[in-house]
Amino acid sequence: MAMANNKTVCFICNEQKITYPCKGCSKEFCFMDLAKHKQILNEELHYITNEYNEFKQTINEQKQNPQNHSLIKQINQWEINSIQKIQQKAQECREIFIKSSKTCINDIEIKFNDLNQKIKQFEKENEFNEINLNYLRNQLRKITEELNNPSNISIQQSSQSFINDISITFPKKPIFNKWKQNAITVAGENGEGKELNQLNCPGGIFIDKNKNIFIADDCNHRIIERQYNTKEGQIVAGADGRGNRMDQLNRPIDVIVNQQNHSIIIADQGNKRVIHWLNQNQQILIRNIGCWGLAMDKNGFLYVCDFWKNEVRRWKMGEYNNEGIIVAGGNGQGNQLNQLHAPTFIFVDEDQSVYVSDVNNHRVMKWRKDAKEGKVVAGGNGQGRNLNQLSYPQGVIVDDLGQTYVADSHNHRVMRWREGEKEGEIVVGGSGEGNQSNQLNRPCGLSFDNEGNLYVADHFNHRLQKFETI
């Protein structure tokens, strides 16, 4: 009876031998080479242990001596370079002054010698009076002032720094990703109406750095401010109902606040004008415009969405007499990438990219600064309620990570879209049309406060909902 052949090829020596498997790498080794393989593994473990110990030592060193970090060294080098620049500039100014000062002193010496001659002459001739003495006294005073404060030399400080500024930056991380699904009503608690604790079809909203909320109370033809932690609002724009007087509004749909001077800019939709309110004084900025959404960038440029002309224009502050510059749309009504169809709300990010709710195309478009056409960042797959669709989108905002939030009006939900993704996700709402705390009815304006809480103008529920972060 023949012996069974249980030999296989050894991975190392490549010979037919009785072998033993290594579970870690699933290879077969003969007895001798298995020992070598284990030795290699031991050496690798020893190497990893040494790396671990070195890394642990590095951590301890950085904890004990943070000044030795490479970034601290960069800061120190910046300090040295800046001081050298300052010292070099100061030395240059000293040399210029000393050179100019010598010329100035020489001129003063000449005047002084002339004055000295006159004094000696008066003393010699012994003929002088009060007029002569006053003259000598005034001349001596002028020469003294000229010596101490030369009129032709001064120090000018430029407002532009010649030292490169530095700062510490950190990568942006998502702080809040989710919100409680049951909202708190923070305005319009008493339903539809015109009392100060009521709203009627609220549109755009703006929240300042102190968490004061400004609401375009559309069908009440007024702007309401709800100060932080107060029980009812106050009217800050609009009076005596609907009208076209300077102190009246007609279906205001959006509002923004210039936080530098606390002035209010309103899209007075029914009067086809953009109007500015400051301490109850009004000024029409732009006339005859189908205004809807408003935005202001970090440079103070004003952006206005023209619903009827299917475009967004930008104006420089104080230059509203001109036609502005088209920054989105402007190529007629349509669904091409360079067109819009009934755009409403807008948002402008730090890079001056403009996001537009393109309502009748059921999409949100992003137009980069100076772009000739936009890019779809939400929706764009026809009207519907799937996660890749929108239905008459309204308010739009973008967070620090470039994620787009849109009030998906006819789907009664707020969606979040990450740029480049084919589908969005529901962040609040999505439980059907209704007035429960987890429901919305045609959501309109959107805003975040400085803690990341999400505010939604619940248009047909006549209330403002606050969804707190988790």
Residue 55: per-residue pLDDT: 83
Residue 75: per-residue pLDDT: 86
Percent of the chain with pLDDT over 90: 53
- Residue type present at position 405: Y
Residue 432: per-residue pLDDT: 93
Q: Across 126-262, where does the E strand assignment appear?
A: 184-187, 202-207, 213-217, 222-226, 234-237, 252-258
Q: Which residue has the higher pLDDT, 259 or 74?
A: 74
Residue 2: per-residue pLDDT: 44
pLDDT-derived band of residue 243, with 50, 70 and 90 as boundaries? very high
- The dotted CATH code for 184-467 is 2.120.10.30
Whether 93 and 86 have beta carbons less than 8 Å apart is answered as no
pLDDT tens string 379-409: 999 999 999 999 999 999 999 889 999 999 9
Residue 364: per-residue pLDDT: 97
Residue 3: per-residue pLDDT: 46
pLDDT-derived band of residue 296, with 50, 70 and 90 as boundaries? very high
Residue 343: per-residue pLDDT: 97
Segment 242-256 mean pLDDT:
95
How open is the CA angle 282-251-437, to the nearest 5 degrees? 120
Q: Is the pLDDT assigned to residue 1 strictly greater than 50?
A: no
Structural element, H or E, at residue 48: helix 31-64
pLDDT tens string 330-359: 999 999 999 999 999 999 999 999 999 999
Structural element, H or E, at residue 22: strand 19-22
pLDDT tens string 60-108: 877 777 777 788 888 888 888 888 888 888 888 888 878 777 777 787 7
- The Cα 27–Cα 38 span in angstroms is 12
pLDDT-derived band of residue 112, with 50, 70 and 90 as boundaries? confident
Which of the given ranges, 139-148, 272-281, 313-322, 330-339, has the highest pLDDT on average? 330-339
pLDDT tens string 173-198: 555 578 999 999 999 989 899 999 99
Indicate the range of 10-14, 60-64, 130-134, 417-421 predicted with least confidence: 130-134
Long-range contacts of 407-412 (CB under 8 A, 24+ apart): 407/345, 407/357, 407/443, 407/444, 407/445, 407/446, 407/456, 407/457, 408/443, 409/442, 409/443, 409/444, 409/459, 410/383, 410/442, 411/385, 412/439, 412/440, 412/441, 412/442, 412/443
pLDDT tens string 196-222: 999 999 999 999 988 999 999 999 999
Residue 415: per-residue pLDDT: 97
Segment 129-135 mean pLDDT:
74
pLDDT-derived band of residue 275, with 50, 70 and 90 as boundaries? very high
Domain ranges of the chain: 72-148, 184-467
Q: Which residue has the higher pLDDT, 397 or 19?
A: 397
pLDDT-derived band of residue 269, with 50, 70 and 90 as boundaries? very high
| Full-model pTM | 0.65
pLDDT-derived band of residue 171, with 50, 70 and 90 as boundaries? low
Give the C-alpha distances (Å, rounded to integers) separating 163 from 181, 250, 380: 50, 52, 48
Q: Which residue has the higher pLDDT, 111 or 358?
A: 358
Percent of the chain with pLDDT over 70: 95
Joined tokens for residue 359: 């309502």
Indicate the range of 31-45, 129-143, 242-256, 433-447 predicted with least confidence: 129-143
